[in-house]
């Protein structure tokens, strides 16, 4: 009997190790920033410490934006969007996340906030699964002044319907992963002051600059055009947050 228990435990441990190894390998097969992004943004546009990309504005307005990447997407893929926001006075931080999955590291924003005490107004957001994690963090922290969804929406456990917290939801008409139907179905979870905007011709992957993504639909507009529309709408929304 003792040998049977011993062998069973060894088999369970071996199975766990095999599953974890497969998961780890899968989580490290990430979407890298595209060559197009490299032509638009320089590594000199940000600082990196502790796995957090930080875009520091030359003329800060004491407002900050924390952006969680989509699942298995490298933080650098959002550098153009972040750089454009920072040029208007916003500190923007994009953290690397455990196993490249924001949902497993949703409290990472607390580290960013602690490192920048001069920022007195914080907005948190994310792309795809990153937005789900951002909403989870915002639902538990009263220091968040707004939530930004990029092709994303809150999970059922993060219900903001009774709140007036400023929210912005951007989605692409051609998104094959976060569809318009999903966005509409989740609107009941958004706050009473939420703003939902569709980007005509936009898709899922072009909320970052990392090339094509499996399961997505082709976009009818260029990645740069989608990025610039994102920036414009986001800035108009951010200006109203106090």
Specify the pTM: 0.91
Q: Identify the residue whose tokens are 């974890």.
A: 20
Axis-axis angle for helices 129-140, 108-115 (nearest 10): 70
- The fold for domain 33-238 equals Rossmann fold (3.40.50)
Alpha-helical segments (H) within the chain:
2-27, 35-40, 79-86, 108-115, 129-140, 180-186, 223-238
Residue 3 confidence (pLDDT): 64
Mean pLDDT (the chain) is 91
pLDDT digits (tens, 9 = 90+) for 56-74: 999 999 999 999 999 999 9
Query: Are residues 168 and 148 in contact, defined by beta-carbon separation less than 8 angstroms?
Result: yes
For 31-56, how does the pLDDT look when each residue is reduced to its tens digit (9 = 90+)?
888 888 888 998 899 999 989 999 99
């Amino acid at each position: 009997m003792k040998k049977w228990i011993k062998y069973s435990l060894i088999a369970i441990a071996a199975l766990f190790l095999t599953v974890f190894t497969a998961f780890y390998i899968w989580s490290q097969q990430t979407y890298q920033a595209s060559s197009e992004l490299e032509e638009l943004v320089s590594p000199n546009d940000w600082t990196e410490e502790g796995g957090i990309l930080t875009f520091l504005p030359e003329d800060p307005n004491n407002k900050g934006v924390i952006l969680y990447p989509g699942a298995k997407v490298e933080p650098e893929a959002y550098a153009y969007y972040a750089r454009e926001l920072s040029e208007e006075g916003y500190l923007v931080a994009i953290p690397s996340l455990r196993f490249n999955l924001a949902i497993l590291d949703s409290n990472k924003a607390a580290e960013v906030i602690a490192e920048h005490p001069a920022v007195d107004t914080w907005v948190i957001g994310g792309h795809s699964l990153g937005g789900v994690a951002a909403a989870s963090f915002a639902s538990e922290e009263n220091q968040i002044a707004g939530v930004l969804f990029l092709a994303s929406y809150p999970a059922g456990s993060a219900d903001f319907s009774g709140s007036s917290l400023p929210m912005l939801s951007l989605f692409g008409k051609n998104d094959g992963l976060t569809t318009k139907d999903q966005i509409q179905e989740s609107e009941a979870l958004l706050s009473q002051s939420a703003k939902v905007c569709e980007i005509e011709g936009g898709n899922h992957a072009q909320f970052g600059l990392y090339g094509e993504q499996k399961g997505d639909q082709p976009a009818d507009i260029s990645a740069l055009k989608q990025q610039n529309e994102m920036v414009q709408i986001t800035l108009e929304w951010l200006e109203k947050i106090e």
